[in-house]
Each structure stands twice: as C-alpha cells, then as structure tokens.
Amino acid sequence: MKYRTQMEAAKKGIVTKEIAQVAREERMEEQELLQLVAKGQVAIPANINHKAIHPYGIGQGLRTKINVNLGISGDCIDYSAEMDKVKLAIKYGAESIMDLSNYGKTHEFRRKLIEMSPAMIGTVPVYDAVGYLEKELSDITAQDFLKVVRAHAEEGVDFMTIHAGINRRASEIFMSEKRKMNIVSRGGSLLFAWMKMTGNENPFYEYYDELLDILREYDVTISLGDSLRPGCLEDSTDASQIAELTELGCLTLRAWEKDVQVLVEGPGHMAIDEIQANMKLQKRLCHGAPFYVLGPLVTDIAPGYDHITSAIGGAIAAASGADFLCYVTPAEHLRLPDINDVKEGIVASKIAAHAADIAKGVKGARDQDIKMSEARKKLDWDTMFDVAIDGEKARTYFESVPPKDKHSCSMCGKMCAVRTMNKILNGENVELKSEK
C-alpha cells in the first residue's frame, strides 16, 4: 500500500519505520502513536530527501522537543561558525535546527546541513526569497514564493514556517488595534509589507492548496507561522493574535485534508498568568495540533538574560500543553548569537522542556533525576556529571575549587549533609574536628 506522508500512512493503518522508531523511543504502543499521527495530534517531520534524519515525534504524550535557530546574516557571514553551532546543537541533543539564513549562499549551507544533521531541519522560505530570486520584495510574485518553497522541499527540509494566517482579514484587525510593538515576526512583517506594496492577498493564503501540494509531495510538515504574535507583554492575547490563531485553525484542517502534517506556532512575549489559558485556547482553536512556542518571554526588561525569561515561560507553556520549544539565547534582541550564546540557550531550553515533561508525567521523564539522586546520595561525582544536562560545566565547577575531602565539595566540606547522613546511618561517628 503506497503513501506520500506519515499522516497518510497513519490514516491507512501503516506503521512506517519512522512511526515505529518514535514509538519505541517514546515508550508508546505503535497503534496508539498511529492514531495520534492520523488525527494530527502528533507530527513526525521527515522529508523523504533528508537521508541523515533521526525521526522525532512532536505532540501529545511525547517528550517536549526543542529547536535551535541559526544561520547567516548580512552582518555575520561566517559559514564555519554556523556549522560549529550545528555540531554543538547536535551534541547537546537538540531535536531540531532551523536555518534562518537570509544572506549569501544559503543553498550551499542548507545542503551541507541536511547531509550531516540527524536533527529535523526547518526553514522560513520567505527569508530566502529576496536572495534566492535576486529581486526586490515588491517585485516578487506569488509563484516566485512557491518556487522557493519547492526548492527547499527538494533539498530535504523537514518543516517550513509559512506565514499563511496574516491574510487581509487578520491584517485589518491588526491595523485597527494600534499595538505597542506592531509586527515583530520577520517573515510576517515581510509579507505584510508585500501585501501593502502590491495590494494583493497573502500569496501563501491565496495559493494555500498549491502550497500544500508541494509539501505533500516531499512530506514536508507545515509550521503555521504566527505573524501577529505579541512582541511585548502589552500586546499579548490581543485581538490581532487571536484573529490570526483562528485563521490558523482553519488552515490546519485544510492541511490535514491533504495529509500534510501541521505544527502551529505560538506567542512570543506573555505574562506568566496568561500562558496556561493561551495553551488551552490554541489547542482548542487548532484542533489539538502540536504547538510550537517561542518562549514565551515572561518579561520585556531582561536583554542579555532572555534565555532565562524564555525558559521560565517555556516550562510553564510545555507543562500546560505546548509540545515544541524554540530556544532563546542571551543575545536575543541584541545580536546574532555566538557559539557560547547558543549553548546557553540550548541548555536553558532543555531544562525547561525536561521540567515540563516531569510535570506532564511523560514516560521516563524522571529516570535521569532518579539516577542523579542515587549518585548524589553516594557522592558519586562521575555519575553525577554523566547524568547532568551539561556534565562538562558541572565538572569544571566542581574541579575549579577542589575539596580537601573527595566525598564532599568545597561548599560544605566535612559538614556536607549527605556525608554526615551516610556516616551516621552506617554506624560511624561524625567527628568534624578530628576526622582527616
């Protein structure tokens, strides 16, 4: 029995090798996962041309996945530096990498990325359109945009952010609102500008069926972009955001009708007390499709520390139903992140995802924490470093001020509570002054 996409296979009751692998790694029965993929509540982005991919599932009942953004910009043209970031992302277990390159030889960089990366690869085709087509924005046609989508699909991109929800209806609501931060989505702002300059409807909305046909051909998952996401706390959960989200719900159903898998992208900046309601609203309006969030950043005043504001929001979002976290680095709002920023962003996002999985009761989520507790009880430092999310950093901290007693650290020394309890429960005396 033939099939084009993971969703079509699932609807026909076919357990693909990707579904089988995801089920095994997530400790889920194949038939349970099959039903979730068929209903669109789990997506397995895996382009037929991405041969190096390690398939991952995103959605209900699965571990929260994280995405790492990178890519070339006009101010930072260093392909080797970006490839170093790719290798770092893979080393630290990022399940997804988005190439947001918008300058130079994007095709060559993307081809190398797809050839070597086991992580899912995502792109935003509208970023690449100006450079790829060598045209000014206002001169690009609807068919030109679709041409870039096809090029990315043929190369092996697993999912694409497509800002199809910012149509004329949503744009009119945005224009009437007078937001604090207007549109902060790069792709959304470009399409809004294109619509204003040409007088045309959003090409990805107007030619949505043609777009879906391209994505279906290569089993590319559509990530429905949130052009009108809030870029500051004052704009969160406003009419513009909800209007676009309503459009994304309709577009989700149209994609599923063509067996195209869907992710729905979510808010950027949002106060803590609004996050849970937003997650539930998205799941309701978008029919349970996997939710992919940038942050949310829970305050606007921490440039240089936005990996922390994002991790706080991401943990709450994922615990409340989000399935996929886009990392944020300390360089957010300030510059293109360097490799150290990338590491900080990955680790913060991994912590948020893991904390949420524990809260959601995902199978196996507590296993590492249990191993860490057992190692700490034994004061087994090597095992602690092996289990830690960033064992290299933990070891460096520990060894930077070596303890006199190997069974403690330099914080507590012989007064270490764990050491004290191990001794006293083992029938030994605790003599702090005389012990050597």
**What is each CA distance from 422 to 374, 427, 428, in whole angstroms?**
12, 9, 9
CA distance 353 to 337: 21
This prediction's pTM: 0.95
Kind and range of the H or E run holding 68: strand 65-70
The model's pLDDT over 224-242, given as tens digits with 9 standing for 90+, comes to 999 999 999 999 999 999 9
The model's pLDDT over 10-36, given as tens digits with 9 standing for 90+, comes to 999 999 999 999 999 999 999 999 999
* pLDDT given at position 386: 97
265 is in an annotated binding site: yes
Q: What would the two tokens of residue 49 be?
A: 């041309």
224 is in an annotated binding site: no
Q: Which of 108, 89, 28, 94 is nearest to 61 (CA)?
A: 28
CB crowding 179-189: b at 16 or more within 10 Å, else e: beeebbbbbbb
* pLDDT given at position 317: 98
Q: What would the two tokens of residue 368 be?
A: 């590492």
* pLDDT given at position 113: 95
185 is in an annotated binding site: yes
Kind and range of the H or E run holding 224: strand 221-224
* pLDDT given at position 76: 65
Task: With beta carbons less than 8 A apart as the criterion, state whether 334 and 297 touch.
Answer: no
292 is in an annotated binding site: yes
Cα 182–Cα 248–Cα 62 angle in degrees, nearest 5: 110
Average pLDDT over residues 26-54: 98
286 is in an annotated binding site: no
CA distance 133 to 163: 19
**Domains and their CATH numbers in the chain:** 6-360 (3.20.20.540), 367-425 (no CATH)
Query: How high does pLDDT run on average in the chain?
Result: 95
103 is in an annotated binding site: no
40 is in an annotated binding site: no
416 is in an annotated binding site: yes
Neighbours of 216 (CB within 10 A): 20
Average pLDDT over residues 190-196: 98
92 is in an annotated binding site: no
* pLDDT given at position 351: 98
228 is in an annotated binding site: yes
Q: Within the chain, what is the greatest distance between any pair of CA atoms?
A: 85
The model's pLDDT over 140-180, given as tens digits with 9 standing for 90+, comes to 999 999 999 999 999 999 999 999 999 999 999 999 999 99
Contacts with 192 (C-beta within 8 Å, 6 or more apart), sequence order: 166, 171, 174, 183, 227
pLDDT bucket at 433, cuts 50 / 70 / 90? confident
326 is in an annotated binding site: no
pLDDT exceeds cutoff 60 at 436: no
Residue whose structure tokens are 């949310």:
296
Q: Which of 328, 324, 323 is nearest to 312 (CA)?
A: 328
Cis upstream peptide for 125 (omega within 30°): no
* pLDDT given at position 61: 97
Angle, helices 142-155/106-116, rounded to nearest 10 degrees? 30
* pLDDT given at position 84: 95
412 is in an annotated binding site: yes
**Residue spans of alpha helices (H) in 117-238:** 125-133, 142-155, 168-177, 186-198, 203-206, 208-218
Of the listed ranges 86-100, 142-156, 365-379, 399-413, the least confidently predicted one is: 399-413
* pLDDT given at position 132: 80
**What is each CA distance from 73 to 81, 82, 157, 337, in whole angstroms?**
12, 10, 19, 11
pLDDT bucket at 130, cuts 50 / 70 / 90? confident
Cis upstream peptide for 337 (omega within 30°): no
Average pLDDT over residues 47-68: 98
Beta strands 262-266 and 221-224, pairing class:
parallel
DSSP code of residue 154: H
pLDDT exceeds cutoff 70 at 74: no
Cα 358–Cα 363–Cα 369 angle in degrees, nearest 5: 45
150 is in an annotated binding site: no
127 is in an annotated binding site: yes
Put residue 199 in one of left, alpha, beta given phi > 0 → left and psi -120 to 50 → alpha.
Answer: left
